[in-house]
Amino acid sequence: MRLATGARLAHVIDASRPTSPNRVSACSLISLRSPSIPSRPQFCRPKSTWSERKHSTSIHSRVFAIYPSNLILRRFTRTMSLKRKSTDSLATADSKKSKSNGSITSFFGAPKASAKPSVPFDKNAWVSKLTDEQKDLLKLEIDTLHESWFKHLKEEMLTPEFLDLKRFIKKEKDARKTIYPPLPDVYSWSRHTPLNTVKVVVIGQDPYINPNQAHGMCFSVRPPTPAPPSLQNIYKALSKDYPSFQPPPKQGGLLTPWADRGVLLLNTCLTVERGSSNSHANRGWERFTQKVIEIVTKVRTNGVVFLAWGSPAQKRVQKVDTEKHLVLKSVHPSPLSAHKGFMDCGHFKKTNEWLVKRYGKDAEIDWNLNVPPEVAGV
């Protein structure tokens, strides 16, 4: 049956082109098929047809008798060329996808292969694992330190150095010594300026030592206390950058509007004994607040501005990466040194110029302080 089919095909082709039996057109090959041959071009037959050819040398010889070798070569070459083009086009598409995905990766950062979903910090569970003494010593932090800072500082709070600091403060309180600021205000900086809002960090030294002044933010004083001399010099320097600057009402010194706008007002030591400057220095606060600075640099990776006035503050920012963050240094605004360069430092305008360049117009700080105390809050 197979030989008859091949013979009939050869006969028909020979009859259609009697003068040129070896020059059969592709159209003739496609249009003149045996009914038993599938409706496909000759060189796209199913595998079953080609397997039959392996077992029939007679059909093999007839095929090559019907199809000249040069025609077979041309059609085979054309078929392979089409396959290669198809493969190349797929490879090109994959390459484009890869490049497109690469640009997205460069913006968001490459995913970590072994990254695990972040588990929300459970403060109550953390507290439940503390000893009774630790719960007692860390009650102030547990009750008043803002959650955004707490979860980053929790390990530092369990270090021997910090626990010793808290034992020292407890001993001072038990001895009926007055400590500033009032303990509920020690961490007010964290509540007015949560970690995710920090744009600027102003580094102070230790709290004011007189009544009704310190309330947990460097340079800031509670109303109705007038602005201290160092803060008055800050106002003067600011007015040179922004002549329209408006200080707090009634010559006050409340800086909570700055804190609410992203200016972290951080003292190096967070407590002091009444009337005794530096009385709580070298007790452990320096290490703790240095950790706060490190957290800012690591979490606020797009960059913040550090204002370091005076040599003690400048030592605190020595390890800050200046390729990511802006560090502005000057002498302290104290009347003893402000005339040596602070008054013309231009830090407030430089801060806003950098923030706008980095984040856009909405990122600049409104330095005005003409906000009623009852609105600003303490």
Report whether pLDDT(262) > 60. Answer: yes
User: Which pLDDT belongs to residue 116?
Assistant: 58
pTM recorded for the entire structure:
0.70
Which band of pLDDT confidence, cut at 50, 70 and 90, is reported for residue 23?
Answer: very low
> Which of 238-243's residues contact partners 24+ apart within 8 Å by CB, and which partners?
238/348, 238/367, 240/343, 240/344, 240/346, 241/346, 241/347, 241/348, 241/349, 242/348, 242/349, 242/367
Mapped onto helix, strand or coil, the DSSP state of residue 326 is strand
Instruction: Dig out the tokens for 139 from the structure.
Output: 């009650």
User: Which pLDDT belongs to residue 375?
Assistant: 87
Q: What is the pLDDT of residues 181-212, one digit of tens each?
A: 999 999 999 999 999 999 999 999 999 999 99
User: Which pLDDT belongs to residue 378?
Assistant: 72
Question: Bigger pLDDT: 373 or 63?
Answer: 373
327 phi/psi in degrees, rounded to 5: -115, 115
User: Which pLDDT belongs to residue 77?
Assistant: 52
Report whether pLDDT(255) > 60. Answer: yes
Report whether pLDDT(140) > 90. Answer: yes
Taking residues 98-115, report their average pLDDT.
Answer: 40
Report yes or no: 227 and 251 within 8 Å, Cβ to Cβ: yes
Question: Bigger pLDDT: 150 or 30?
Answer: 150
Catalytic position from the list 88, 132, 174, 206: 206
User: Which pLDDT belongs to residue 5?
Assistant: 43
Q: Regarding the domain delimited by 181-376, which CATH topology (the fold level of the hierarchy) does it fall under?
A: Uracil-DNA Glycosylase, subunit E (3.40.470)
CA distances 64 to 40, 75, 78, 80, 234, Å, are 18, 14, 18, 20, 99
Question: Does the annotation count 206 as an active-site position?
Answer: yes
Residue 104: CB atoms within 10 A of its CB come to 9
User: Which pLDDT belongs to residue 74?
Assistant: 55
Taking residues 55-72, report their average pLDDT.
Answer: 47
> Which of 125-130's residues contact partners 24+ apart within 8 Å by CB, and which partners?
126/154
Question: Bigger pLDDT: 183 or 378?
Answer: 183
Which band of pLDDT confidence, cut at 50, 70 and 90, is reported for residue 84?
Answer: low
Report whether pLDDT(52) > 80. Answer: no
Angle subtended at Cα 346 by Cα 342 and Cα 349, rounded to the nearest 5 degrees: 145
> Average per-residue pLDDT in the chain?
81
How far is it, in rounded angstroms, from Cα 182 to Cα 342?
Answer: 31
Which band of pLDDT confidence, cut at 50, 70 and 90, is reported for residue 117?
Answer: low
User: Which pLDDT belongs to residue 105?
Assistant: 36
Taking residues 301-319, report their average pLDDT.
Answer: 97
Report whether pLDDT(304) > 90. Answer: yes
Which segment of 77-81, 246-250, 293-297, 333-337 scores lowest on mean pLDDT?
Answer: 77-81
Taking residues 285-301, report their average pLDDT.
Answer: 98
Taking residues 275-293, report their average pLDDT.
Answer: 98
- Partners of 328 in beta bridges: 307
Taking residues 220-243, report their average pLDDT.
Answer: 97
User: Which pLDDT belongs to residue 377?
Assistant: 82
Percent of the chain with pLDDT over 70: 69
User: Which pLDDT belongs to residue 154?
Assistant: 98
Which band of pLDDT confidence, cut at 50, 70 and 90, is reported for residue 307?
Answer: very high
Amino acid at 206: D
Domain positions in the chain are 2-71, 181-376
Report whether pLDDT(21) > 70. Answer: no
Q: Smallest Cα–Cα separation from 350: which of 219, 241, 233?
A: 241
